[in-house]
Amino acid sequence: MWKQLIMTAGVGVLLFQGQTASADNMSPQDLVQTEKSLQQTKQQVKDTKQSIHAIQTKLKQVDHKAEALRDKIEGTSKELEEVEESLVPAEQSLFAKVVSSVLPSAKAEAAEAEEAHQELVEKKNQVNEALEQLKEEQEQIEATRQDVKASYDEKSKQYKKQTNQLSDLKKQYEAMAPDRFLMPAEGRLSQGFGSASGQFGYTFHNGLDIAAKTGTPVYAAEAGKVTKVSSSGPYGNHIQIEHNVDGQKWTTVYAHLHKVDVKTGQSVRQGEPIGQIGNTGNSSGPHLHFEIHKGDYNFSASSAGNSVDPMKLAERLGGASPVKATF
């Protein structure tokens, strides 16, 4: 199975192409870290998208306010023009001065006209002051709009960068992650799935035995929830994890452990360390006994029951064969 494998190194991206050799460059920790980065980046994209939406809403509000202010300025400017057109000229003609000095009625009319003129002058000043205030407010709104627009541009660039990063991480994760289950440990295949000799009371071996040194890490074969942690019985220290893969329930078993690093009820990621290979229970040497059950755990000492050969479902990282050398 050929895959293009993408692994993040610091802030850069390294590409590896190949078949099984490419899997040698990766570890379950790489898978877990990539999955964490993927989830974090998804959240960042979501948060940035929400920020952009909030900025767009604010920008619309600022534009609406700016439009309303433009209408006010236009109306106030028109009012100022009307006031200026209505102003009585400050300088009276010589004839008007002579008449107003001789005739009392003309003098009274001149006084009224002067009073009206002063009122218009005062109104002009008031309207002009209001217009200046509106223009200052307009400048402030424009400055606010520029700041909001700058924030929008910055967030848009950030969003584009994050979505590109998310796309790369998705490709990287898909290239690394097994199609279904991850082979939970590295070691030597000491016994396969199928008929057994009858030692320890069973004639069918419903899992794989992976021999390795005591303390060798054991990883979760798939994301799921730990449903059992026990130290009793023929399995010795063992773990059961329940998984949901494309709507199908599965249960994996990890037995004869030296150390258990998870608790019942704990959620685990695919590739997350859950324990160490050991020699507890009915075991003739340090190894991991690994089972995959379709549905709930259902053991049978004489048949496969609902267990499935892990060699058909579990892969090493990068989609490679689960067998490496004698493993």
The predicted-structure confidence for 196-218, as pLDDT tens digits, reads as follows 877 777 889 999 999 999 999 99
Q: 267 is written with which tokens?
A: 């959620």
Q: How far apart are CA 78 and CA 73, in angstroms?
A: 8
**Per-residue pLDDT at 97:** 55
The two structure tokens encoding residue 281: 């229970």
Count of C-beta atoms within a 10 Å radius of residue 253: 21
Q: What SS3 state is found at 120?
A: helix
Contact yes or no for 307/293 (Cβ under 8 A): yes
Give pLDDT, residue 7. Answer: 37
Determine contact, residues 296/251, Cβ cutoff 8 Å. yes
Phi, psi of 16 (to 5 degrees): -125, 130
Tokens in use for 286?
């340090």
Instruction: Classify residue 278 by its DSSP letter.
Output: B
pLDDT at position 19: 35
Scanning the structure block, which residue is given the tokens 């329930």? 249
Identify the residue whose tokens are 């003098």: 107
The answer to whether residues 194 and 307 touch, using CB atoms and an 8 Å cutoff, is no
Residue recorded with tokens 């590109």 = 164
Residues of the chain with pLDDT under 70: 1-24, 88-107, 110, 323-327
Query: For residue 102, what are its two tokens?
Result: 């001789």
Residue-level pLDDT at 21: 35
Distance CA 175, CA 6 (A): 7
Helix (H) or strand (E) holding 123: helix 104-176
Using one digit for the tens of pLDDT, what is the confidence trace for 82-135?
Answer: 888 887 554 454 555 555 555 666 667 767 777 877 888 888 899 889 889 999
Identify the helix (H) or strand (E) that includes residue 113: helix 104-176
Can you give the pLDDT at residue 20? 35
pTM over 0.75: no
Q: pLDDT value at position 257?
A: 98
Q: How far is residue 16's CA from residue 7's CA, in Å, rounded to a whole number?
A: 8
Secondary structure (DSSP) of 211-257 = E--TT-EEE-SSSEEEEEEE--STT-SEEEEEEEETTEEEEEEEESE
Nearest-10 crossing angle of helices 28-86, 104-176: 170
